Structure 1
Amino acid sequence: MAVTTQLAPSALETSLRLESRPQTPSSRQFPPDSSIVLIGSRGVGKRTLGFIGATHLGRRLITEDHYFQRVTGISRGDFLRTYGNQEFYRRNVEVLKQMLDQHRSGCMIECGMGSLSHQAQKALKEYSKTNPVIYVTRGSERIRSLLRLGEEEAARLEAADLSHRNCSNLEYYNLYDPSCDGMDTPPENGLGNQSSRLKSVKEDFSNFLDFLTGQGLARNSLESPFSIAALPPECRSYTYALSLRMSTISDLDLVELEAGADAVQLKVDTWSRDLKKILAKNVATIRRSLGVPIIFQVEDYVFENSMLSMAEKEHAYFNLLECGLRLGVEYMVVDLKYSSDNISQIVQCSGRTKVIGHHLHREENSWGWDDESRMIQYRRAQGLGCDMVRFVRATSKASDNDTVKTFLAKIDSIPDHLPVIAYNLGEHGRSSLVSNRIFTPVTHPVMQSTVSVSQIRRFLPTASEAMQSLYQSRVLDPLHFYHLGASVFYSLSPAMHTAAYQVCGMSNDFQSLQVSSLEDIHRLCQDTNFGGAAITQPFKVQVLSRIATKSYHAKAIGAANTLLPLRMMPNYSSLDGSIQSLLRQANQRGKSGPIVAYYGDNTDFLGILTCLRRNISPRNVVQPSKTTGLVIGAGGMARAAIYAMIQLGCRKIFMYNRTVEHSQDVARHFNSWASGLSSDGEIVKVLKATTEEWPAGYRQPTIIISCVPARSVAGQPPSNFEMPTQWLGSPTGGVVIELAYLPLDTPLLKQIRLVREETKQAWVIVDGLEVLPEQAIAQFELMTGRKAPKRRMRLEVLQNYHRYEEGREL
């Protein structure tokens, strides 16, 4: 949908003046367990999103249709036919109010079309003062196609649906998921691969709910200080914001813009009759394509050609900011030139959105960075409750770049100061952009070749160019990274990491080296330019004895696959393992120096967990009291697989390994660590032989993860594992993850395909090439502190795999 439609000034003015601004809630900061209500027209996918949300948050799903029938003893349709419109209307509102009142916490609530009535919307508006009420929308053509509506009926439905905006406090655009193609037509063989269904929708909506509830922050608190998920971008060094104008989005393939940016700065620079829905779609598209936070900014010149008064322009400006808050953007830019009352109101209702107070001088003038007015604006932003402040100044003098540094040093000297973004505009300000540490605006090579000069700022560097400048000026040092293990000759890790360094503009190198002992690892990692190492078998458990500090995950798993250096730092005489000291280390990644100890983490479980979340079908959603998992193997990857299942909520896990003693050791480790998570204190149980029948009293496994090599490693024969048929009796199928990828088509996967064909059970297959890049992406981010170019790393695996088909397993 094009967003560059220009209205005549009179039409624009009329649209802005008639625009009704929804009542701003006093706050969007709800208790984490507040029930969440989904409203919207038929065909927008509320029921599906409700199920996804309830599953992700571990909540009860309440649907208005079922609740009405439970309370009245009759379906809505039958009630209407029996008692007529007036009584149905009265009873429907009564039941809705009862449903909302009795479920204020711990639920996902899906409202039917009864939400269109005036009294129902009045009740929902009242409910939105204490709970999130999300207005779900999607493309009009998609709704019309799904419901098979004619033009007039579709237009009436869309017009009526807009009333939902006034009784909600949040908005979610349910972007079309191509993986849903063909869902209405069963495959010819009755099988299909359900793994790909709704993958993107599940990820999009789950991330939205994580931000809304703060669950993402709570989960990230378990991350190590080296994880970029544990620190917001404004707390990390040298983060970049891809500057993207709304008027150019329709001309770009957003997936091509992935290049290490930490956020997207979405600039609203044009007006349209359907602006709110277009904004919602653009925000959803950016999130799906790039997966980074959004900085929402409204450009002043949207209103320049109108005849609106200054007060009307300010009203329109804050109305658009309110739209951004409804969409749950992570950051919002508010121009400090506007009234304190309006700014304070936006801050008060911002919820989890962080507000950036913005001060801009487009024209060069006499004041400099040392002018006291800058500090006055800083203190005003701080007093208004802004989370950050951004100062931007046009200049034609390169010397102004030095005064920016002086200004930032002055801010840094203030105790508990706000994060500050400061740089000069224009060609002469480029070095100030490069040295700016937070959300430096950047462009992208694709935009430089496809977007007109008038629509992008040519003086902006790309993220890669900005990073290269840091290496050239020795702000960052080139570092050596390794993949270390007993058999790494045919590893795909160097290809993935090297490609990521090139995309991000880093001067690092990555190589695989065979090692035979922990001493070999220690010797390589003592180089002052050592940046980090991926550790593989058989050293993932052994290496813990050489690690000074471990992440929560590595401790829980009892294995580490990632080794990071801890360096001697200036004015820092001891390594106490505290969060503060580790944060200092994390913010020094990219710098060489003497190494005094190691930090250990584990990303293997993240690769497995990501693939499980994507591929578990709705019928096999994890239920702690019912779901059973099975892990094959007892090494470091088996430990990660068990931990991933526990993280997903599985509380009944079986293990099988050729050496029973090894399985028993792993089971004892996790049963001790997670004793409080199971009623009998035993989450992990050991199967001693493949000839055993599946244990009585437990459901057949719906999650199966094979963690054994399919080729010879370190002189050990390949496992060539196949499942006993008596263990494959799940009537709903399940998901099978094979971690080995050399060969890609292992004996286990061949067996599951045959079973699937013979039994028609919906077994979903995930091969090793799907898991491998997911753990490597997390590893790259741990090692570098940079956002990984995920798409490029996944592509690199597929492109390079053919070279290793005859090689050894990682």
Structure 2
Amino acid sequence: MIYERCENSLQHKFQSVVIVGLRGVGKSTLALMASATLGLEYVDLERCLVDYTGVSDATFIKSVSKEEFIHLQYKLIVRSFRANKNKRAIYVLPASSINNSAVMEYLRNNCNCHCVINIECDEDRILKYVNYTGEYQKGISSIQSGISQYRSVANYNFFNLESNLDVWKKYSFSKVDDSKQIEVTPHLILKPVELEFINFMSFILWNPIPEPSDVLLKHYQRSNLRSFSNCLQLTFPYDARNIHVNNFGDVLNGVDAIEVGVDLIQLIRTKIMHVNLRLDEYIARIRRSTRGSIPILVGIKNTIPELNNFIMESTVDSVISTSQIKQDFRSFYFSILYSIIKVAADYVVLNLEIFLFDEVNFLNDIIVNDSFYIMDQLRHMQGNSSFLGTYNSNCDEFWAIQKTIGKVRCLDIIDLTNDLQISMVRVTSTARCVSDNYKIQTFLEYCMKKYPETTVSAYNQGTNGKISKILNKVLTPVCSPSADPSQGELTSYALNQSRFSCFLQPTLRFFAVGRSDSSILYQFVYRSVFEKLGLSYFFKILEDVSIDELLKSPDFGGAILATPIEIKANEFAGKSSAHAAEIGLVDSIIAERSLDDPSKFLLRGENADCLAIKVYISDNVAPINAVSHNKSVLVIGSGFKSRAAIYSLMKLGYKNILLYSPMSIARQTEKDVSLSHNLDSSRKLDSHNLLAKITIITEEQFQNGILPDDLLYPTIIINCMSDEDVPIDGQVKLSANWLKSPSGGIFLDTHIANKEITTLNESSEWEKGWIKTNGLEFLLAKTLIQFELFVGKPAPRELIKSILIEHYPNEVQ
């Protein structure tokens, strides 16, 4: 995920964050990680009593009554809140505050000022942490009771999945050798759960809306869901037991979004205990598997008629009255719905039936009073999640444009959606015959004219409804490759192929301009991915071609420009992104096509090197090395790639940048002066007004690891050497002095090692907290970025990674 540390551009929804949870759930660790990365002040209220009394909580409570302890704890906590009210802070409350009713009430009454996040984890982890030796079931019940109390005051719930070193390692090609003692410094590694929590916090506080070039941001794909997108539908709890979400494998290839439908009837019949916690865990595992790159939709799967029938069945032979059963079920329904909102999904799926009056509807008591009261309550809780309204009908004339008294038609649902101010809606029915599918197109044309701002997903279910699914543009449901296609379901591969066969999507051509080793690799990767996903796109290497003529082709999809074909930004005929304009170079050209008319497109130049460096650093720098005013970074190399690295670092907030170029002194001076002139400390970078000090490192300083005055040793080293940077002896030696950072750091190589590009010599210092990567990491990040820019869909990370490993087996340890 990309973070741009800009104080003026980020708008907080909440002033502060309060972290609550039981002992052993990881409150302090996660809060420290988030505060360092997101620039929030860390306030440890777990120590408020110790700091005030000078003795431990256990010792102090023995000397006073319980009431005195609770009163003093409340007084100190509230005092801290008030003392820091004008600061952007993250508070960690002591676990004992769960027994302090005054503190809990304070949190409830100030939920609009403080964002309260409840940290949860598996019950067994907590029992192990507290060394519990009593009866197991009694311990579990006690933990569940505590979690429920914290959930009652929380705005959001975050499930802390365990992240050991093995989980961290599997995300990368080769980050650390098993023989090295990285295990003794785990705080120097950004573990998956820490990155997940940082992403979670970023979405809750700011919900960043990226520019088109700011790719690989969590929730970036929201805008792309409106154009021939699909959605993998999972059911909780059924798929929680039958699909191993830790390893989706090929299931996620070509998937644009994941929808989790909670089956309330199945939850009751299978007697799953502590449903809310299990649902949070399931969503956390999906986020872990997707690395936050695919939007998640969560809602209640059951229709209201299904639930009404289940309630009526439950009243048979029951000693409880029907009215009481309905009341209990209403409480259960909204309990699950509120839990869904608190998980901070991209979309909360709302069944629009809950807003419609029906004589047998178990929600009638609420709807009769005020159906919009329900929406007001949900909107108050929704935070930065969006709502997707959904409605399914079995009515024969559901798609008819003319309204009929006493029957709900598709236009009634669209009217209701607009009354509720929901901008995206999904309406479905069942096709009795193939011709039923074409009625939907008339309905959609009418909607476009009457409600142009509403995004509508409309299709038929069943074996006769396949055509409508193929024609549907928004969130068409897809199944896993192992599902039974006879039920009218489509895989993402089959859906893509059908759309291209029907000419619903244009066949595009992509190019690598200029022959090089990387061009050959890109051709291999893109052709393999296009074939695997069922995309009728073509990729070809071109040499000695006119860029201007190429861009005029009506089926142009995008181009990767290899050195020396790369275009200077001021010479590019289209519009360059802010990144490319500042760096001065375009290495990727994107055709941004109109959603309404794909034959029309605008050209945009981008610098993928810059974005790849930003993505890699954001996803790998440990919070202990997070951006601060005194952190230093070292860039090795010259030319536009080093310029891209410097720009990326400045956008991330780094203030002290060291630059070394291993060229002849004359050429070094010429290029470095040019670079520092364009990105010097006196320039303001676009709207962010970020300033940085760029210091040129001499040959002597680099060889001996001599730091300029008043600077710390770097925590990031980026190797951007090009062919012309390689000295005559073909070796650049990195002094061990550059690796003296006490908190370690990361070394990013932007080239695949080969006979033309020299590699830095090995050093025993790599063992001391440094994470050293080869060029495959950078190549993977860059390829993922370019794919998403070109295709407008989530890049199949694991598929692309496997292709790179196949192509470079010797680069993987």
TM-score (norm 2): 0.83
Q: Does residue 319 in structure 1 map to residue 328 in structure 2? A: no
User: Are residue 346 (structure 1) and residue 378 (structure 2) matched?
Assistant: yes
Task: Name which of structure 1's ranges 166-175 and 381-390 shifts more when overlaid on structure 2.
Answer: 381-390
Counterpart in the other structure of 2:282: 282
Write out per-residue CA displacement over residues 411-449 of structure 1, whole angstroms, 9 at most, x where no aligned residue: 101254311111111111111111111111111204x1x
Task: Indicate the SS of the match to 1:79.
Answer: helix
1:125 corresponding residue in structure 2: 108
Task: Look up the equivalent residue of 1:264 and give its one-letter code.
Answer: I
Partner of 1:137: 120
Relative distance call for 1:617 and 1:352 in structure 2 (3 A) is closer
SS in 2 for 1:211: helix
Whole-Å separation in 1 of the counterparts to 2:673 and 2:340: 53
**Once the 2 structures are TM-superposed, how far is the Cα of residue 216 of structure 1 from its aligned partner?**
2.4
The match for 1:379 among 400, 408, 415 is 415
Flag the 1:241–1:182 CA change in 2: closer, same or farther, 3 A: closer
Alpha-carbon displacement from aligned partner over 1:615-674 (angstroms, at most 9, x marks no partner): 323432221x21001101122221221122223221100111122321221222122544
2:98 is the counterpart of 1:116 = yes
Give the letter aligned to residue 251 of structure 1. N
Instruction: Indicate the residue corresponding to 2:359 in structure 1.
Output: none
SS of equivalent to 2:314: coil
Q: Report the residue type matching 1:507 in the other structure.
A: S
CA distance in 2 between counterparts of 1:177 and 1:227 reads: 22
Tell me the equivalent position of 1:199: 191
1:91 aligns with 2:72: yes
Structure 1 residues 586 and 628: CA distance shift in structure 2, 3 A:
farther
SS of the aligned residue for 1:531 comes to strand
> C-alpha distance in 1, partners of 2:462/2:188?
46
Match of 1:355 in 2: 387
CA contact 2:49–2:73 (8 Å) conserved in 1: yes
Q: Deviations over 1:573-612 (max 9, x none)?
A: xxxxxxxxx6xx35379x567x8x7320122223222222
Q: What secondary structure does 1:445 align onto?
A: coil
Correspondence 1:306 to 2:319: no
Separation (CA, whole Å) in 1 of partners of 2:756 and 2:90: 41
Identity of aligned residues (%): 23
Q: Give the match's secondary structure for 2:349.
A: strand
Instruction: Between 337-346 and 236-245, report the one with greater CA deviation.
Output: 337-346
Query: Would you say how many aligned residue pairs link Structure 1 and Structure 2?
Result: 734
Say if 2:489 is the partner of 1:460: yes
Which range moves more in the overlay, 90-99 or 779-788?
A: 90-99
Alignment partner of 1:723 out of 727, 734, 740: 734
Distance of aligned partners of 1:791 and 1:537 in 2 relative to their CA distance in 1, 3 Å threshold: same
Q: After superposition, give the CA deviation of every residue in 1:705-761 in whole Å (9 maximum; x if it has no partner).
A: 00114xx5799979632224443432333211111113399864442x43335xxx3
Partner SS, residue 216 of structure 1: coil
Which residue is equivalent to 2:21? 40
Farther-moved stretch of structure 1 (489-498 vs 89-98): 489-498
Match of 1:391 among 414, 419, 427: 427
CA distance, structure 2, for counterparts of residue 428 and residue 587 of structure 1 = 27
Taking the aligned partners of 2:686 and 2:589, their CA distance within structure 1 comes to 30
Which one is further off, 146-155 or 111-120? Answer: 146-155
Q: Would you say 1:739 and 2:739 are equivalent positions?
A: no
Cα pair 1:564 1:598 within 8 Å, conserved? yes
Q: Aligned equivalents of 1:630 and 1:769: distance in 2?
A: 20
In the alignment, structure 1 residue 162 sits paired with structure 2 residue 148: yes
- Equivalent position of 1:23 in the other structure: none
Alpha carbons of 1:484 and 1:143: their partners in 2 closer, same or farther (altered >3 Å)?
A: farther
Given that residues 404 and 432 in structure 1 are in contact (C-alpha distance below 8 angstroms), is that contact kept between their aligned partners in structure 2?
yes
**Residues 495 and 797, structure 1, Cα contact 8 Å, conserved in 2:** no
Task: Report SS of the residue matched to 1:356.
Answer: strand
1:668 equivalent in alignment to 2:677 = yes
Contact 1:36–1:109 (CA under 8 A) maintained in structure 2: yes
Between the aligned partners of 1:89 and 1:635, the Cα distance in structure 2 is 63
Q: Is the 8 A contact 1:503 1:789 kept in 2?
A: no
Q: Where does residue 784 of structure 1 map in the other structure?
A: 791
Q: Is the 8 A contact 1:395 1:424 kept in 2?
A: yes
2:97 match: secondary structure: helix
Which runs of 5 or more structure 1 residues have no equivalent in the other structure? 1-29, 566-581, 806-810
Greater mean deviation of Cα atoms: 382-391 or 95-104: 95-104
Is 1:176 equivalent to 2:162 in the alignment? yes
CA drift of 1:198 comes to 4.5
Q: Determine the C-alpha separation between the residues in 2 that align with 1:73 and 1:483.
A: 67
Q: Which amino acid aligns with 1:138?
A: C
- Which of 223, 238, 259 is the aligned partner of 2:253? 259
- After superposition, give the CA deviation of every residue in 1:469-520 in whole Å (9 maximum; x if it has no partner): 11111122222212234523674322332232223220112234455xxx64
Alignment partner of 1:509 is 2:566: no
Normalising by structure 1, we get a TM-score of: 0.83
Task: List gaps (5 residues or longer) in structure 2.
Answer: 1-10, 170-176, 316-321, 355-366, 404-408
How far apart, in 2, do the equivalents of 1:800 and 1:158 lie?
Answer: 50
Q: For residues 36-62 of structure 1, what are the alpha-carbon distances to aligned partners after superposition, in whole Å with 9 as ceiling and x for unaligned?
A: 111110111111110122123211111
For residues 502-651 of structure 1, the aligned pairs below 5 Å read 502-514=531-543, 520-540=546-566, 542=568, 544-565=570-591, 585=593, 587=595, 591=598, 598-623=603-628, 625-651=629-655
User: Partners in 2 of 1:745 and 1:124 — Cα distance?
Assistant: 61
Structure 1 residues 653-664: aligned runs within 5 Å: 653-657=657-661, 658=663, 659-664=668-673
> Is 1:706 the counterpart of 2:716 in the alignment?
no
Is the 2:585–2:640 Cα contact (8 Å) retained in structure 1?
yes
Q: Which amino acid aligns with 2:126?
A: I
Kept after mapping to 2: 8 A contact 1:227/1:782:
no
Q: CA deviation at 1:364?
A: 4.8
Q: Within 1, Cα distance between the matches of 2:164 and 2:612?
A: 23
> Which of 512, 516, 525 is 1:496 aligned to?
525
- Deviation, structure 1 residue 293: 1.9
| Match status 1:335 vs 2:386 | no
Give the Cα separation in 2 of the matches to 1:161 and 1:745: 58
Cα 1:803–1:64 change in 2 (3 A) is: closer
Contact in 2 for aligned 1:132/1:169 (Cα 8 Å): yes
Aligned to 2:694: 684
2: CA distance, partners of 1:744 / 1:619 = 36
Per-residue CA shift, 1:90-112, capped at 9, x if unaligned?
21121112223333451111112
Do 1:706 and 1:737's aligned partners in 2 also have CA atoms closer than 8 Å? yes
**1:370 corresponds to 2:401:** yes
Q: Secondary structure at the match of 2:426?
A: strand
Q: Which amino acid is the alignment partner of residue 387 of structure 1?
A: S
Match of residue 358 from structure 2: none
Cα distance in 2 for partners of 1:252, 1:545 equals 51
SS at match of 2:523: helix
Distance 1:704 1:804, change over 3 A: closer
- How far 1:226 moved relative to its partner? 12
Amino acid at match of 1:736: F
Greater mean alpha carbon deviation, residues 525-534 or residues 408-417: 525-534
Root mean square deviation, CA, Å: 3.4
| Aligned residues of 1:471 and 1:507 also touching (Cα < 8 A) | yes
Matched residue SS, 1:204: helix
* Contact 2:190–2:622 (CA under 8 A) maintained in structure 1: no
Partners in 1 of 2:342 and 2:570 — Cα distance? 46
CA shift at 1:767, angstroms?
Answer: 1.5
1:421 corresponds to which of 457, 468, 472: 457
Return the offset for 1:211.
1.8
Shift of residue 312, structure 1, vs aligned partner: 4.5
Q: Does 153-162 or 325-334 show the bigger shift?
A: 153-162
- Judged with a 3 Å threshold, the aligned counterparts in structure 2 of structure 1 residues 681 and 797 are, in CA distance, closer, same or farther, namely closer
User: Does structure 2 conserve the Cα–Cα contact (< 8 Å) formed by 1:267 and 1:296?
Assistant: yes
- Deviation sequence 1:547-576 (CA, Å, 0-9, x none): 3201122223222221124xxxxxxxxxxx
SS of residue paired to 2:679: helix
Give the AA of the match of 1:603. Answer: A
Q: Is the 8 A contact 1:335 1:358 kept in 2?
A: yes
